[in-house]
Amino acid sequence: VRVVAALDATSGARAVLSVAQAISAVVSADVDAVHVEETVPAVPIADLVGCSVRTLPPPIESVLVEAGRAEDVIALVLGLKRSDGVRVLGRVARAVCTRSERPIILVPPTTPIPFALRRALVPVPPDPMATTTLAGTIRLAHGVALEVTVLRVGDPTNVPLFEDQMFHETEAWAREFLARYVQLPPEAVALEFRVGDVADEILSAASDLGADLIVLGWGRDFGPRRALIVRRVLERTMTPVQLIPVLP
Amino acid sequence: MVSIRTGQLEEHIVADVAWGAWQYWLWTGDEDFLRQAGYELLADTARYWASRVRRDGEGRAHIDDVIGPDEYHEAVNDNAFTNVMARWNLRTASTALSARPDLADDTERAKWDDVADALVDNYDSGTGLYEQFDGFFDLEPLIIRDVAPRRPIVADLLLGAERVRRAQVLKQADVLMLHFMVPSEVAAGSLVSNLQYYEPRTAHGSSLSPGVHAALFARAGRLGDAVEWLRLASRIDLDDVTGTTAGGLHLATMGGVWQAVALGFLGIRAEDRGLRIDPHLPSGWPRVEIRLSFRGSRIVVRTDQSTVSVTCDRALDLAIREGSPITRVDPPGIEVRL
């Protein structure tokens, strides 16, 4: 199996490659470093990243989506860009994310190199069906010996009425959650509870907990008023983000 | 890892257990219980408090490093509830054990009285307020009633545990539990001022809080508020408002609902000399009937907007209304116009 690393001619390409290599090592996959040559780069990509790179002909979005459809590809790794100081999801990344059925890992250019993948943060939505979809990822991460923290963020308007015995109630909720949706024993993953703005809390939890990867489920739709949390996380994250397509 | 310190520091439970035992005796008149366990329990708990206090240079007694019923503020000094309950414990033990010099001699009982008199209770006669603990009034004056999207609410989840620790936000009744449990130990007339001050600062984040406040609002004559909190307490499991009813019923809350009706709206209280009933019925309630057992007598209390009737199957020492004298009532009972 392969992890496709889509490299461009920016300095962020090295971070993309490093993340792809770390993920490949964890899941015993090969890295397939590719570059779609819309223009001839000043420095050859292979020289930039220090490894062999397959060069593919444009158009770039279609080529990457098609590359991701191969049966042996388990994930695509793309770079996040900066524009005028604000992180933006580039045209290519946006198109590939919405059209790909494979998990996409989006890598900020500031990601440290060499990248090490040890801890994954998995924010779970209140919708149990979406949680069920993420459960496979949680089990997979646990199965490859990653430290997994499941994050549940409460909305301030949805704070519980009562909490008579915080410790016992939290533990009871965690056991029930893991047994019902993840089918893992309670000691397999850590649970983190926070209250506040969901995107803010995801980012601060990733920072506080030293997460190497944020795993988000999403509906593959960047239309108006869609994927608001995903967008806000991608705009500001300093941590690579894995988007898992969640079926509606 | 969150350290749960209530198990180590919530020492008022020592006095609460003694109070529970004393209430059992007041309601049942079970002398065997007193002889076999009650007196010893009072003596040992009083000894604990006498050994637990710290004396300052002026001879005042303090209890440091505790958690009160509020539970949002940890390791505080001179929690009013703890200190006053300890005072009640010392005084009750001293009085009750005068009949048992074999368990506590005069010298020891005199020491208990001395410690009780020296214990600070944080009451300010100028404002009519008890300060919940030393320094509470210096905390951020946050009125959770005004800033929360609704109450009840788990304030430490809404605001963060650190801010709650630094603010005048309560999880549940603390000072007010004194007015609920030991009204004779607090300053006369201080319920209304403390209810007015502390209730808006209370998040009611414990399912036990609404019932206690329903009872206190009823005793204070604020019957609209009393009904509102009673309704919430009574529907916690009926409406599954916590989403946890499938995992077990809130039995202590149910007990609180009964207490709110019996001890709050009907104002029933067991005293040394007999039973007192002081009803406060909301205008929308045509009548309330409750059955009790008091010192071997089976009692039915019925009250409507104008009368109280009490039937009993054995002679009963009874008073209707606060301040009225306790008198002997023979079966089948009496009816009193309010």
**pLDDT tens figures, A29-84:** 999 989 887 776 666 777 776 777 788 888 888 888 888 888 999 999 999 876 55
Q: Please check the confidence at residue B298 and state whether its pLDDT lies above 70.
A: yes
Residue B115: per-residue pLDDT: 98
Reported in sequence order, the residue ranges of chain A that DSSP labels E, i.e. its strands, are: 2-6, 30-36, 54-56, 73-79, 81-83, 86-88, 104-107, 119-124, 147-154, 190-195, 213-218, 241-245
Q: Which of A38-72 are b and which e, b meaning 16 or more Cβ less than 10 Å from the residue's Cβ?
A: eeebeeebeebbeeebeeeeeebbebbbebbeeee
Provide, as residue numbers in chain A, all residues whose Cβ is less than 8 Å from the Cβ of B205: 161-163
Locate A157 and state its tokens. 């308007």
Choice between B223 and A99, residue whose per-residue pLDDT is larger = B223
Question: Which residues of B108-264 form beta strands (DSSP E)?
Answer: 123-124, 129-130
For the ranges A94-98, A209-213, B333-337, which has the lowest average pLDDT? Answer: A94-98
Residue B238, pLDDT score: 93
Dihedral sign computed on CA atoms, order B275, B92, B34, B67: positive
Measured between CB atoms, does A158 come within 8 Å of chain B? no
pLDDT in tens, B114-172: 999 999 999 999 999 999 999 999 999 999 999 998 899 988 878 878 899 999 999 99
Comparing A169 with B205, which gets the higher pLDDT? B205
Per-residue pLDDT, A157 = 67
- Chain B hits for A176, CB-CB cut-off 8 Å, are 247
Helix (H, G, I), strand (E, B) or coil at A46: helix
Half-sphere exposure of B119 (CA within 13 A, CB side): 29
- CA-CA distance, B303 to A16, in Å (whole number)? 78
Point out the catalytic residue in the list B71, B74, B108, B199. Answer: B71
Q: Is the pLDDT of residue A133 over 70?
A: no
Residue A182 predicted with pLDDT over 90: no
Put simply, the answer to whether A160 touches B242 (Cβ < 8 Å) is yes
Q: What is the pLDDT of residue A173?
A: 67
Note the pLDDT of residue B260: 98
Which of A157, A176, A193 shows the shortest C-beta gap to B149?
A157
Which residue carries 């605001």 as its tokens?
B159
- Higher model confidence: residue A27 or residue B246? A27
How many Å from the N-terminal Cα to the C-terminal Cα in chain B?
57
pLDDT above 70 covers a percentage of chain B that reads 99
Q: Which of B218, B165, B171 is nearest to B195 (CA)?
A: B218
Given the structure tokens 């309601």, which residue do they identify? Answer: B27
pTM of the model: 0.72
Cα A113 to Cα A15: distance, rounded to the nearest angstrom: 6
B221: left (phi over 0), alpha (psi -120 to 50) or beta: left
B71 a catalytic residue: yes
pLDDT at A83: 56
The chain B residue lying nearest A168, using CA atoms, is B4
The span from the CA of B168 to the CA of B7, in Å, is 23
Q: What is the mean pLDDT of residues A122-150?
A: 75
pLDDT at B122: 98
pLDDT-based confidence at residue B241 (cuts at 50, 70, 90)? confident
Contact A170, A150 (CB under 8 A): no
Distance CA A19, CA A13 (A): 10
User: What per-residue confidence (pLDDT) applies to A168?
Assistant: 64
Q: Which of B157, B205, B247 sits opposite A195 (nearest CB)?
A: B157
Q: Say which range, A128-142, B58-72, B261-275, has the weakest mean pLDDT.
A: A128-142
Q: What is the DSSP string of B63-118?
A: --SB--TT-SS-SBSS-HHHHHHHHHHHHHHHHHGGG-TTTS-HHHHHHHHHHHHH
User: Out of A156, A167, A193, whose CB is closest to B149?
Assistant: A156
- Looking at every residue in chain B, the average pLDDT score rounds to 95
3-state secondary structure of A79: strand
Using DSSP's 3-state secondary structure scheme, residue B150 falls into coil
- Point out the least confidently predicted range of A116-130, A193-207, B252-266, B280-294: A116-130
A128 pLDDT exceeds 60? no
CA distance A235 to A86: 7
Taking the Cβ of residue B254 and every Cβ of chain A, the question of whether any pair is shorter than 8 Å is answered with no
Taking CB atoms and an 8 Å cutoff, what residues of chain B touch A166? 2, 4, 156
- Half-sphere exposure for B195 (CA within 13 Å, toward CB): 19
- Comparing A191-195, B46-50, B313-317, the range with the smallest average pLDDT is A191-195
Please give the residue of chain B at the shortest CA–CA distance from A165.
B206
Q: Is B62 helix (H, G, I), strand (E, B) or coil?
A: strand
pLDDT at A162: 81
pLDDT tier at A233 (50, 70, 90 boundaries)?
Answer: very high
Give the per-residue pLDDT at B134: 98
Cα atoms in the 13 Å half-sphere on the side-chain side of B55? 10
Asked whether the beta carbons of B214 and B226 are under 8 A apart, the reply is yes
